[in-house]
Amino acid sequence: MATWLLFLVIKKRFFLKMNTRDDIYMRMALEEAHEAFLNDEVPVGAVVVCGDRVIARAHNLTRTLHDITAHAEMQAITAASDFLGAQYLKDCTLYVTLEPCLMCAGAMAWAQIHTLVYAVRDTKRGYSLISHYPILHPRTQIRHGIFADEASRLLVSFFEKKR
């Protein structure tokens, strides 16, 4: 009984810790998305964390750079790789406010990202629309739904403004 209680306490602490970390870093990704919004870019933000260190922050810059590949995730992966001087991000977690598209998920597969955390699902262009093919690396862990409402509200505001 005591062992069982101890297990429950550890499990709760572990999840609390994970949630707190996810909250902190997804909040940063949302700040990046806000920055994109202010610059008239589709408001998506991303953060790469390695251990307890934020090694890259980025937001969507497709209009600013006239480059459709300049999604937040692509730039975050490039910046993180540059920081580490390594092609693979096997010990890193990528936080992003919108579910990655196929291009970005493909990049994450190549980078062998350890964990992907995204806020809101992209029901039109999200990589999970392809359900029976392993788009991400088989070892990549996935969590989603953190700050989904906030991320979604920002996107809805942006596209309403554009109409």
Q: Give the active site residues.
A: 73
Q: Residue 65, Cα to own-chain centre: how many angstroms?
A: 21
Q: Which of 62, 115, 128, 152 binds a second copy (CB under 8 A)?
A: 62
Q: Which of 27, 78, 143, 150 binds a second copy (CB under 8 A)?
A: 78
In 3D space, the residue among 139, 125, 41, 39 whose CA is nearest the CA of residue 89 turns out to be 139
Question: How many helices (H) and strands (E) in the chain?
Answer: 4, 5
Residue 114 DSSP class: S
Q: Which of 1, 51, 53, 66 binds a second copy (CB under 8 A)?
A: 66
Q: Which of 28, 109, 115, 121 binds a second copy (CB under 8 A)?
A: 109
| Contact flag: residue 85 with a second copy (CB under 8 A) | yes
Only one of the segments 12-20, 45-53, 106-114, 153-161 lies at the binding site for a second copy (rule: CB under 8 A); that segment is: 106-114
Q: Would you tell me how many other CB atoms lie within 10 Å of the CB of residue 104?
A: 26
Q: Can you tell me whether residue 101 is helix, strand or coil?
A: coil
In 3D space, the residue among 14, 16, 157, 33 whose CA is nearest the CA of residue 95 turns out to be 33
| Contact flag: residue 68 with a second copy (CB under 8 A) | yes
- How far is 131 from 123, CA to CA, in rounded Å? 13
Choice between 22 and 126, CB closer to a second copy = 126
What is the total count of residues that contact a second copy (CB under 8 A)?
32
Residues within the interface to a second copy (CB under 8 A) = 62-63, 65-70, 74, 77-78, 81-82, 84-88, 101-107, 109-111, 129-130, 133, 135
